[in-house]
A and B are shown apart, each in its own frame.
Chain A
Amino acid sequence: MTLPQTSNDVSAPADTRGRSESRPGRGAAQAPRSRGTRSLRRRMMLDRAAPYLFLAPWLIGFVVITFGPMLVSLYLSFTDYSLLSPPEWVGLENYERMFTADPKYLESVRVTAIYVFVSVPLQLAFALIVAMALNRGIKGLPIYRSIYYIPSLIGGSVAIAILWRQMFGQSGLINQVLALVGIEGQSWIGHPDTALGTLIVLNVWTFGSPMVIFLAALRQIPVYLYEAAAVDGVTAWGRFRHITFPMLTPIVLFNMILQLIGAMQAFTPAYVVSGGTGGPANSTLFYTLYLYQRGFTGLEMGYASAMAWALLLVIAAITGINFWLSKYWVHYDD
């Protein structure tokens, strides 16, 4: 593929000639010198534009499909909008209503908070433990790595959520296994005390993607640190506490932020497992699920947009706090 820059010199004369042939009248009206610079300027402009043209497919997509709608939703969040008639400006009413007149909203915040702050630490701990186990130089590492990574790829899918329904149902696999040891289990997804727990387990199960990142980072830790520790007679726990974990902290931060953002926006598992209701008794009413219900069942797209922006602000705040806190515990190797 020829880069646009190379085209500059060779094609410039051809361009000039082409123009003078095709539009003699216009060429005659201008001084010969200016004709040359004009054409050169044109070419330079085109060269400068070329990267943007290559970017265009993404850029148009971003502006039209992501950024534009985001701005519109910001506007809609200050309106009463039923989708069926034009939005009406209501100022901050939607935002006030969330915190003053909608107990179900606060319930969804509570459910989501539990989900995020229980499942993400568990998931990261699990990912780290498995990564460390795999890093001990076992045979067939690529195979294990792939096996553990698969849940990350499919964990957010509808198919897995349906599988979860089956496994944790009254006659599901979990209860059948429990029955073997004489325990009669209840329906895990059907009871408000355990339904959220099954979704947390589902999220922890998708530990593969942070694990792969941890695994790569573990291999970056210089061996001489461990050798020095061995000479000093440091215990395994001490090696983890004083070498492995500090060296991994940038990656822990990275994984944590990524997973927090993902978990706060989780939708599919709750939607499928509860049949779209967020039940039983609102125990799986994720924030985004409630937002969807308000938007499409209640036809309150203005309120739903306000909820979306509140979520965005919270995600930004939590991420910001994380970065700020990171200077107290994240160890950069410099």
Chain B
Amino acid sequence: MQRGRPGRFVQGRVTDGSSPVTELVSPQINQSAQQFSTKRWEITVVQNRIGRAVLAAAAAVAVSIAMVGCAPASESEQGEVELRFSWWGTDSRHELTNEALDLFEEKNPGITVVRDFGGFDGYIDKLLTQAAGNNSPDVFQLYEEVLREFASRGQLYDLNEATSQGLSLDGWDQGLLDTSTIDGSLSALQFGLTTQAFIFNTELFDQAGVSIPTEGWSWDDLATAAKKVSDGTDSGTFGVTDLSTGYQVFEVWANQNGESYLTDDGLGFSAGTLEDFWNYWADLRASGAATPGSLTSEYPTPFDAIIASKAASGFIFANQMAAVQSSIEAEIAVDRMPGESPEAGSYLRTAMNIAIGSKTEHPKEAAMLVDFLLNDPEAYAILGIDRGVPANPAVGDAATANVDDITAKGLTVIDGVREDGAAPPVPPKPGAGNVNALFAELAQEVQFDRMSIKDAVASFIERAEQELS
């Protein structure tokens, strides 16, 4: 045993290893093996111990060298191609995606997809770290807020080039392609579309004897209904979540006023518009229609307060309907955002993107995978609308064939927006992440009366412009 183990190790290393470290060590070990055969085993044991220490260190070094050497090479010996695909999501998304990827491997023998998936928390940290280490996945899911940053730093493969390698863009809306075109290159494709919507807890509205607003309702209708619900329910329940911290809601508000939140060269709205928005919510807080500040900030995601039955209505992305409904007993209703006429503010929004890493060694196979995940009806028979409505209308039927009632309600809203919604904005400039955080931060200063609305708006504009410059 003493002899066998190190001996075998060394043999293995010597035959395949060209590392100077292993060569340096091996005579030493071979020696001790020879000594063992002379039956002076006491000495050999001692020798072996030293030998082992050296061996252990050498093995550690050799392994790490081997690992470093292996990392970029993803081709195995049989000429098979290995692609790495990263995505975030919930368990159900992982199941669906894995199933679809199995189908892809079946249809494309010779390509193996390594699946790298997890929750949303920490996803971007990991992706950024991999990018910094030149170890990006071949194909990955990416959210809109960081798209421009990735694209402008040369991290994304131009998908226009992928069209000659197996990616088809037939049936894709040119407007959608334009929103993802950054510096002349098609940086990513929409891996699902969604839109801004409003949800209601029907039970709480019934309890207060308030009818649920219907399409064409205004922000004033919301204020009135929410006030009635607050008054007609328990003291801890409010008509609507205070949405003054949500830049996604303000984005709709700005669009409805003929402006926009962020443009490709900075802020796209006037101070007065943001003042109106924050004033609106201040009034709702004052009247008791909206959740008070401390309750709002306890539930960072807007629909969390609805799930907890602290608020009877609030903002949501239409594709998240099913997730909310599965977390609450009361029946949920959904409608378009308030204030959508005369000018609609909600738009068909990218729920997430799919992109190919610019450093991929297999652009052709990566293009095939992206094509499969975006354009293959058989894939969508599995994937459904878990990531939102597919951007390619050709697979829409396959994706929506088996949806349940609650999902169907969300789809109605998306269809309405597809018809008469606002134009989607371009991907925001680098620094948008900080601006969005700043928006919530200053809205909170207002919520807790630490700043006047005028000052908060001025401060937001000044600091946001600084972040975007």
In the docked arrangement, what's the CA distance between A54 and B50, Å?
Answer: 10
Instruction: State whether the Cβ of B450 lies closer than 8 Å to any Cβ in chain A.
Output: yes
Q: A56, B46: Cβ atoms under 8 Å? A: no
Does B437 have its Cβ within 8 Å of any Cβ on chain A? yes
Task: Give the contacts of A29-82 with B (CB-CB under 8 A).
Answer: 46, 50, 53-54, 56-57, 60, 82
**In the complex, A85 has a CB within 8 A of chain B:** yes
Within 8 A of B (CB), among A1-41: 1-2, 4, 6-7, 10-11, 14-15, 18-19, 21-22
Task: Knowing A83-B129, A85-B154 are in contact, say whether A280-B448 is a contact too (CB < 8 A).
Answer: yes
Closest to B44 in A: A14
B300 in contact with A275 (CB, 8 Å): yes
Residue B293 lies at the interface, judged by CB distance under 8 Å to chain A: yes
Residue on B with the closest CB to A281? Answer: B444
Query: Which B287-303 residues have a C-beta within 8 angstroms of A?
Result: 292-298, 300-301
Cβ A191 vs Cβ B53 within 8 A: no
Known: A85-B153, A299-B149. A14 touches B35 (CB 8 A): yes
With contacts A281-B441, A296-B128 known, is A56 near B57, CB below 8 A?
Answer: yes
Cross-chain contact A22 with B132 (CB below 8 angstroms): no
The answer to whether B437 touches A84 (Cβ under 8 A) is: no
Interface residues on A, range: 35 or more
Q: How far is the CB of B235 from chain A (nearest CB, A)?
A: 9
Distance in Å: Cβ of A43 to nearest Cβ of chain B: 9
Q: Is B31 an interface residue (CB 8 A)?
A: yes
Pick the contact of B295 from A19, A101, A190 — CB < 8 Å? A190
Contact, CB under 8 Å: B298 / A187: yes
Number of A-B contacts (CB under 8 A): 137
Q: Does A170 contact B (CB under 8 A)?
A: yes
Whose C-beta in chain A lies nearest to the C-beta of B446?
A: A281
Question: Contact residue range for chain B?
Answer: 35 or more
Which chain A residue lies CB-closest to B235?
A184
Q: Does A293 contact B (CB under 8 A)?
A: yes
Whether, in the assembled complex, A277 has its beta carbon less than 8 Å from a beta carbon of chain B, the answer is: yes
Instruction: State A82–B152 Cα separation when bound (angstroms).
Output: 11
In the complex, what residues of B have CB within 8 A of residue A191's CB? 293-294, 297, 448
Q: Is the pair B444, A14 in contact by a Cβ cutoff of 8 Å?
A: no
Task: Report whether A190 and B31 are in contact in the complex, using a CB–CB cutoff of 8 Å.
Answer: no
Cα distance A14–B41 when bound, in Å? Answer: 11
Are A170 and B34 in touch, CB under 8 angstroms? no
Return the chain A residue nearest B61 by Cβ: A60
10 contacts between A and B (CB under 8 A): A1-B49, A11-B46, A53-B56, A83-B132, A84-B153, A85-B154, A190-B296, A279-B441, A297-B437, A299-B433
Known pairs A7-B49, A169-B298, A171-B236 / 5 extra A-B pairs, C-beta < 8 Å? A21-B34, A22-B34, A84-B153, A85-B153, A186-B294
The 7 closest A-B pairs by CB, nearest first: A190-B294, A84-B153, A190-B298, A280-B297, A275-B300, A191-B294, A281-B444
